[in-house]
Structure 1
C-alpha cells in the first residue's frame, strides 16, 4: 500500500508527464528533421540526374521530378570547362525549360561572394566548378535548427506548466490544512483529523493537536478557577447580607443605618459581579447543543423576571410589537442575552425611565431613553469591563462591565449579530440582536 505523501503525489505525477513531453519533443525533432533533409537530398538527386542526362544530350521526364526541385534548383551550380578553356556545361540552365538562369562565367571568382565554391581539376586539364548559394545553405541550417528547437521549446513550456500544476496539486493537503485552521473560530480547539493526512504533515498535525490539548487544559483550568471563585464568593456574601438584614434598622442611628445600607449595596454588587463572572465563564466555553427555540415565550419570561427591578428603578418596560420567530440556538444562551440587553437598558434609562422592546421575525430591538452611546465608543461598548459615563440613577445601579461583553460572546457563539445605534423612538440607545442567520 503506497504511503500518502506529498513527495509521492508530486513525483508520480510529474515524472511521467515530463518523460512524455520529452519523448514527444524527440519524436517531433526526428520527424521534422528527417522531412527537411529528405527534401534537400531528393532535390540534389533530381539535380544530379538532370545534369547527367544533359551530359548525354538528353532530358529527364518532368513527371519524375520531386516537389523539392523547384525549391532547390537555383541553389546549385555545376560548370565544366575543357582543357583548352572552352565552356562545356552549365547546370544553371533552368532544369525544366532549358533557359540559362545565370551568365556563363569563365572563372569561379566571377560568381561573387554569395556562392560557396569548390573547384576541381581533371587530369586531362579540364576544370569542374561546383557552387552553392551561402544564403540557401544558411536557410537550410536555420530550418533544421528551428525544426529541432521548436519541439524542445514546447516541451520545456509544457514541463514548466506541469511543474506548476502538479506542485500545486501535490501541496493540496497543506492548503486544505491551512484552510481548515483559518476557518476555525478562536473557541474551536478540537483535534485535527490525522487519519488521512499526508506523511509530511503528520508531525505538524500531531504537534498542533498537542498544542490544542494544552490550550484546552489551560482554558479549562481558567474556567474552573472563575467558577470556583464565583461559587466560593456566593456563600459568604449570602451570609453577610443575611446578617446585615437581620439587624433592626429602628435600633440604629441615621449614620449607622447609612453605613449598613452601603454594606448591603456593596454585597449586592459583589454578588452581581460573581454572577457575571459565571456567565462570562460559560460564554467562553464551547457552544452547547443547539435546538429550535421560540423567542417570544422566552422573552416574556425574561421581562417578567425583570419587572420588579424595573419598578424599583422607576423604569417602564413596554413590549411594542411581538412576532413569533423560531431560531436555532442554545436556549440558555438566548435567555442570558435577552436578560442582559433589557437589564442594561433599565440601568441606563433616564429618570423616569422608559424601555421599549420590539420582537420581529429576524431581529430583536431594545431601546431606552438614556444618554445613548456616542459613535466613537460603539466599538468598545462590548469590551470587558467597559464603563459608559452614567447618570446619577445609573451610578447607583452600576454593574460589573461584563453584561454586553457576555452578550457579544454568546451572540457570536450562536450565529447572531449584535449592534448598537441611536434610538429613533426614545432618543437613547438601541441595541439590535439580528438572528436572521440562526434560522433552523
Structure 2
C-alpha cells in the first residue's frame, strides 16, 4: 500500500507511572533524527549536569522547566516530528491516575494509541483504564508496547504472558485492531530499529508500524450536518439582500439546489449558493468552512443546524451520554451547567447517573452514583432547548459535547452521545 508522505498521523501515548513514555518518545525523536541541533545540545548539557553519561531521552518531551525539576510530566504535551514517509503529532499524556482526564483530551482526535506496559509488572489498573478510554473514543488502532524487556532478560515467555493478560480483559472492549511489540525504549530495541536481542520477535519495530498504519477518515461522509456559527448580513449597499449562514461542515456533502431543513424549527428550503472565502463553489464537504445562502428567508441563528430533509439527526432535550468527569470538584446533584455541542450553547442538568464503570472489572456500579474526578459513567442529560444529536459511533463531531460550570467557567466533563 502506497503511503501519502503528507499524511498526518495523530497518536497518543498512555501507560502507568514510570512505564517509560517520555523515554520512548525521546527515543523515537532521537533515532529518527527529528531533534533540532540546539535542542539536542541543551538536553546533552542538562544530562551532563545530572551526572548521566548518555543523553536523558525523557528530557526531549519534558518541555517545562518546573516539570523537569520535579521529575514528572504533567498535562498533555504535544510533539511534532516528520519522517520521509509521514508526519506525526504525539499527544503525550501523564500516567498518574489523577490525570486520566488528560488521556481523554489527548486521545479525542487520535488515529492510534500507543499503550505502554512495564514488562516487570504486566497489565495494571491504568492499562485497563487507558484501554477502556481508547475503546470509548473508538480509536481505530492500538499498539501495545511491552517496554523494559531488557530488565526481564528479553524473555519471550514474559512477552507472551502479557499478551495473554491483555487479550483476556480487552475481549470485553470494542477494540478492532491490536498490535503487540516487545521493546526497550532506553536501549532502542524495536523502537526505530529491529532488536538484535529479541530475534524471536518476527514483527516490525514501532516506527515502521506508525509509518505504515492505515489512517481512515473519522469524518462521516453520509450524514450532512452544518452547524451555523453566525449569520452574515453585510452593511453594504451592493450586498444589502445577502443573508449568509457561516460555519464549518461537520459531516457530509452540500450542493447548490439541495433540499435542506433548518433545525430545530424544521422549516425547509433549498441551497441557493455556497461561498468559500470570496469564491462561489458548487459543492462543499466536511471539514470546509463556508457561507451558504438559501432560496427562502428563514429565521436561523447561531446553534441551528442545516441538514438534508431526508436525513436528519435527533432533535431532543433529554438523552444518554457516556461521560468522563474532568473536574476536581464532584458533580452537584441537579446543578445547572452550560452544555456546548457544535455551535449550540445550552443550559443543562444531569438528570440521572444511570451507572458508573468499575475500571478494574468493567462492571457497572449502580449503588454509588456520585461523580468525582476521572469517573466514567452513563448519565441522562436534560437541556433547556432541543439540540440536534447523532450517536458518537456514527458521527464524532455531532456526537460529542462538553459541560461547563456556570460559576467557575471550568470545563467539568466531556461526553459521547450513545
With normalisation by structure 2, the TM-score equals 0.18
**Higher share of residues assigned helix:** 1
**Higher share of residues assigned strand:** 2
With normalisation by structure 1, the TM-score equals 0.17
